[in-house]
Amino acid sequence: MIKVVYHPLFETHYPTAQVESPERVQVIKRELENSFPFVEAQEATEEDVLLVHTPQLVSRVKEITNLYKVALMAVGGAISASRIALRGEKAFALIRPPGHHARRDFHWGFCFFNNVAIAVKKLLDEKVIKSAMVLDIDLHYGDGTADIFSSCDEVRVINIQEDDPHDFLRETEKALGSLKEDLLALSAGFDRYKLDWGRTLDMEDYYRLGKLIYEATITLPCFAVLEGGYYLPHLGKVVRRFLEGLSGQ
């Protein structure tokens, strides 16, 4: 059973685009809370953030009203999910703000700290893993993650950017077939949903996507971190179908 990492701080209002609202995590939480066990996120430290970001970026984030504590908790949620994965259970970090656009010294696209990159870098620095694949299934290219790991031989970043559902699933399966790293980290965006911006995948496609990943990681640590997904009427159900596939249901 997948564990969902969450904290009430993620429902905080802070200055960002209107679509990246607290309602995103609220609708997902309501859909998942009766089907999956929840675990409370633990706040990350500034030292964790500095594993991949510059002090200048941290200072800029601190200046944004109501944001810094929430952003640290989002990083902590990703780290918590990675720890659960190392114990042999899959985990989903239900967090905000998202992170895959955050570069070393630049934040944009609703992202401030790169949650998944920090979690992976922390495991590498602790030498509990030697390598990792970051698989990004969001509509938008995870430029921040790609930038952060561009000179890191231990981390392979793959963005699936196909606009046809069959091609998307095929390319995902191809990427998973090449998986040889010690851990799989998922930047799990849901804005490719057919009624969201990407207009690519339906709910059953997300189930199949989760099932492909489940089958490729039966014996491998795997955790997912929420990135995009903005069509609130269906967002919770889309995430639930994905997690049902990812848990092998």
Convert the pLDDT of each residue in 157-200 to its tens digit: 999 999 999 999 999 999 999 999 999 999 999 999 999 999 99
pLDDT at position 249 is: 87
CA nearest neighbour of 46 among 91, 113, 116: 113
Sign, CA dihedral 77-83-86-87, equals negative
Token pair belonging to 208: 């199949």
Q: Which residues are catalytic?
A: 101
pLDDT at 1: 87
For the whole prediction, is pTM greater than 0.95? yes
What CATH class is the domain 3-246? alpha beta
Q: What is the mean pLDDT of the chain?
A: 98
Respond yes or no on whether the N-terminal peptide bond of residue 55 is cis (omega within 30° of 0).
no
Query: Rounded to 5 degrees, what are φ and ψ at 134?
Result: -105, 115
Q: How far apart are CA 95 and CA 115, in angstroms?
A: 9
pLDDT at 178: 97
Q: Count of alpha carbons within 13 Å of 243, Cβ hemisphere only?
A: 29
User: Smallest Cα–Cα separation from 225: which of 125, 132, 129?
Assistant: 132
Query: Rounded distance, CA 87 to CA 23, Å?
Result: 31
Distance CA 59, CA 50 (A): 11
Report residues of the chain scoring pLDDT below 50: none
